[in-house]
């Protein structure tokens, strides 16, 4: 398990590699060049073949590989950890990629390990799963956990614009989980959340894009999400401005920081 600088998690873990781009948020995906680098280190065979192995123009190949031995060891580590953690699980992939059928060995094994969390952790643990394919997540939950996921598992969907909100939020709201969250990062426009969506949302994360090709965000887009969160009594977490600050000037992620209107919004469910 690796500790992480991601503000809303304490650790990241992976047993699966590979993905394909699903929507505008994927355009500058950090996981593609990082997958190339991991492959070239030669220590994780699951990264072989999931990219074109070209650091100058890295691309996914569409191949998805899962190491089920690593999956089991990851969840054993989570269960045996003596301190509470918030683990972003699957940070280098989409665990619910359309290439994997709900009854595939990969998703069955994931269900077995998730089931084993329930009441078996030495300390309170949170495992956060984020997807751009909530329909597959919903199918998986209904297939393996018809009564609902264990309380340790929080599930989220990426919502970068209104189109993705309209498509993904009605589906995410049907998933039976203790916490359903939105990752509105990178955010590309003002997003209006319907009351019925907010009623089935327990956490909202927002942030701007980082990296060399980062796209600029209007500060009012974040303010709107914050106000909708506060109005609905939902914890709000402002992760970062990204490369552009609140004046829409590019000054770099570190200098831009994560203060929104004089406050660090660091709320959690």
Q: What is the pLDDT of residues 147-191, one digit of tens each?
A: 999 999 999 999 999 999 999 999 999 999 999 999 999 999 999
CA 157 vs. chain centroid, Å, equals 7
| Predicted TM-score of the model (pTM) | 0.96
Cβ neighbours for 161, distance < 8 A, ≥ 6 positions apart: 24, 187, 188, 189, 191
In the predicted model, what is the mean pLDDT of residues 7-33?
96
pLDDT of residue 92: 97
- Has residue 100 got a pLDDT over 70? yes
In the chain the first and final C-alpha atoms are separated, in Å, by 23
In the predicted model, what is the mean pLDDT of residues 43-57?
94
Mean pLDDT for the chain? 96
Q: Are 61 and 50 in contact (CB under 8 A)?
A: yes
């Amino acid at each position: 398990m690796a500790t992480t600088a991601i503000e809303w998690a304490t650790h990241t873990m992976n047993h699966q590699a590979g993905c394909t781009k699903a929507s505008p948020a994927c355009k500058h995906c950090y996981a593609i060049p990082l997958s190339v680098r991991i492959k070239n280190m030669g220590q994780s065979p699951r990264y072989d073949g999931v990219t074109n192995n070209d650091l100058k123009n890295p691309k996914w190949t569409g191949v998805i590989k899962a190491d089920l031995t690593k999956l089991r060891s990851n969840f054993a580590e989570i269960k045996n950890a003596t301190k509470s953690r918030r683990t972003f699980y699957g940070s280098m992939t989409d665990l619910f990629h359309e290439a994997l059928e709900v009854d595939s060995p990969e998703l069955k094994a994931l269900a077995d390990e998730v089931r084993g969390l329930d009441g078996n952790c030495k300390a309170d643990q949170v495992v956060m799963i984020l997807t751009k394919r909530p329909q597959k997540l919903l199918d998986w939950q209904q297939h393996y956990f018809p009564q609902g996921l264990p309380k340790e598992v929080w599930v989220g969907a990426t919502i970068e614009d209104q189109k993705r909100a309209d498509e993904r939020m009605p589906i995410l709201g049907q998933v039976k989980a203790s916490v359903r969250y939105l990752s509105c990062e990178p955010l590309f426009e003002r997003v209006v959340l319907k009351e019925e969506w907010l009623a089935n949302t327990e956490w909202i994360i927002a942030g701007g894009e980082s990296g060399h090709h980062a796209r600029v965000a209007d500060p009012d887009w974040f303010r709107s999400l914050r106000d909708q969160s506060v109005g609905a009594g939902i914890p709000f977490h402002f992760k970062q401005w990204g490369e552009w600050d609140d004046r829409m000037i590019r000054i770099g992620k570190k200098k831009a920081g994560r203060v929104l209107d004089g406050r660090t919004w660091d709320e959690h469910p």
